[in-house]
Amino acid sequence: MSASSDSPIAVESHSPALRHHFADMEQQKQAASLGMWLFLGTEIMFFGGMFCAYLIYRYWYFNEFAASSRTLDIWLGTINTAVLICSSLTVALAVRAAQTGKRKLTVILLLATLAFGLAFLGIKGVEWYNKFEEHHIPGASFHFEASVPQHPGVPINSQHAQIFFSLYFAMTGMHALHMIIGVGLFCVLTFYAWKGRYGPDYYTPLENAGLYWHFVDIVWIYLFPLLYLIDRKK
């Protein structure tokens, strides 16, 4: 009843990157890809909890959310959005460069991605510092007074505004943490790329790390309008 065949990898040589529990590189690549997509699915659920809280509180406390959103620096936010989109471009190009065997170009593009990532983090640091100066960080020193947008003289509820800022820091903080992890990851991968580890036969780690980076970018694409662009019409 039991039939068996020789394992395909038993005899001939194979890529040094092939892990021995896989039958061939194709299986390994597909497994790695599926693994990364599933992991990104878990990340969607992870951020999803905060987005859920955000949606509920925004529905209840719209005025406070709108007033608080207006205090965020729309220019820095827009620049950061552009920075991240550029970084996604450079990482996608880096994967392409690896696929076409251009080692030096791969490294340059990865370094550019890192630069954009660090720029994002730097700008975010500046924004957070501004919030600190304005006493918008939730906690003992929180102080926020504003009017309901389009209704001058009607003050908003400061406690409800504090919830906006709690969510702002939680969401952008969690996003920044993921960026930092991504930067660390890409430091390692850039080093390996410089060492010549990736080429047309094997670029899976770059591709999957690129997927991660794109995901972190997409989270920001959602965060930016939800946090910065509430009711900005004049």
Partner 1 sequence: MFDNFPLWPARASAGAANVDALYIFLVLLSAFMCAAIFTLILVFAVKYRRRAGVQAEQIEGSTALEITWSVIPMIIFMFIFAWGAAIYFQERTPPRGAAEVYVVAKQWMWKVQHEEGQREINELHVPVGRDVKLVMTSQDAIHSFFVPAFRIKQDVLPGRYTTAWFRATKPGTYQLFCAQYCGTSHSSMIGDIVVMEPAQYQAWLSGGPAVPLAESGQKLFSDMGCITCHRSDLQGRGPNLVGVFGKPVALEDGRSLTADENYIRQCILNSRGQVVKGFPAIMPVFQGLLSEEQVNALVAYIKSLGAPQPGQTTKTAAAVTPQEPKVQ
Partner 2 sequence: MASAAIIPERENYLNQEYGIKSWLLTIDHKRIALLYLMSITFFFFIGGFFALLIRLELLTPAGDLVAADTYNKLFTMHGQVMIFFFLIPSIPAVLGNFLVPLMIGAKDLAFPRINLLSWYLYVIAGILYLHCILTGGVDTGWTFYTPFSTAFSNTKVIEAGLAIFVAGFSSILTGLNFVVTIHRMRAPGMTWSRLPLFIWAHYATSIIMLLGTPVLAITLVLVVLERTLHLGIFDPALGGDPLLFQHLFWFYSHPAVYIMILPSMGVVTEVVPCFSRKRVFGYKFVAMSSIMIAVFGFLVWAHHMFVAGISLYSALVFSLLSYLVAVPSAIKVFNWTATMYKGSITFSTPMLYAFGFIGLFTMGGLTGLFLSALGVDVHVHDTYFVIAHFHYIMVGGAVMGYMAGMHYWWPKISGRMYPESWGRLAALIVFLGFNLTFFPQFVLGYLGMPRRYWQYPPEFQVLHVLSTAGSTVLAVGYVLPMLYFLWSMRYGKIAPDNPWGASGLEWMTSSPPPTFNFEQTPVVTWEAYDYANIPAPEEVPIER
Q: Which residues bind to partner 1, rule: CB under 8 A?
A: 60-64, 148, 151, 153-160
Give whichever of 21 and 233 is closer to partner 2, judged by the CB atom. Answer: 21
Tokens for 71? 């205090």
The site partner of 31 among partner 1, partner 2, none (C-beta below 5 to 8 Å per kind) is partner 2
Give whichever of 3 and 233 is closer to partner 2, judged by the CB atom. Answer: 3
The site partner of 71 among partner 2, partner 1, none (C-beta below 5 to 8 Å per kind) is none
CB 144 within 8 A of CB 162: yes
Give whichever of 64 and 217 is closer to partner 1, judged by the CB atom. Answer: 64
The site partner of 191 among partner 1, partner 2, none (C-beta below 5 to 8 Å per kind) is none
The closest of 64, 109, 108, 71 to 210, measured between CA atoms, is: 109
Which residues contribute to the site for partner 2 (CB under 8 A)? 1-7, 19-23, 27, 30-31, 34-35, 38-39, 41-43, 45-50, 52-53, 56-57, 61, 138-140, 157, 159-160, 162-163, 166-167, 170, 174
Provide the residue count of the chain: 234
The site partner of 154 among partner 2, partner 1, none (C-beta below 5 to 8 Å per kind) is partner 1
| Alpha carbons 117 and 226: distance in angstroms, whole number | 21
Place of tokens 């389009």: 150
Q: Beta strand pairing status for 147-148 and 151-155?
A: antiparallel
The site partner of 153 among partner 1, partner 2, none (C-beta below 5 to 8 Å per kind) is partner 1
Least spacing, CB of residue 170 vs partner 2, in Å: 6
132-136's contacts with Cβ under 8 Å and 24+ in sequence apart are 134/71, 136/68, 136/71, 136/165
Can you tell me whether residue 202 is helix, strand or coil? strand
Least spacing, CB of residue 224 vs partner 1, in Å: 25
**How many other CB atoms are there within 10 angstroms of residue 140's CB atom?**
6
Least spacing, CB of residue 213 vs partner 1, in Å: 37
The site partner of 130 among partner 2, partner 1, none (C-beta below 5 to 8 Å per kind) is none
Give whichever of 100 and 159 is closer to partner 2, judged by the CB atom. Answer: 159
CB 67 within 8 A of CB 146: yes
| Alpha carbons 213 and 149: distance in angstroms, whole number | 36
Give whichever of 160 and 175 is closer to partner 1, judged by the CB atom. Answer: 160
Least spacing, CB of residue 177 vs partner 2, in Å: 10
Q: Is the sign of the CA dihedral 172, 175, 181, 185 positive or negative?
A: negative
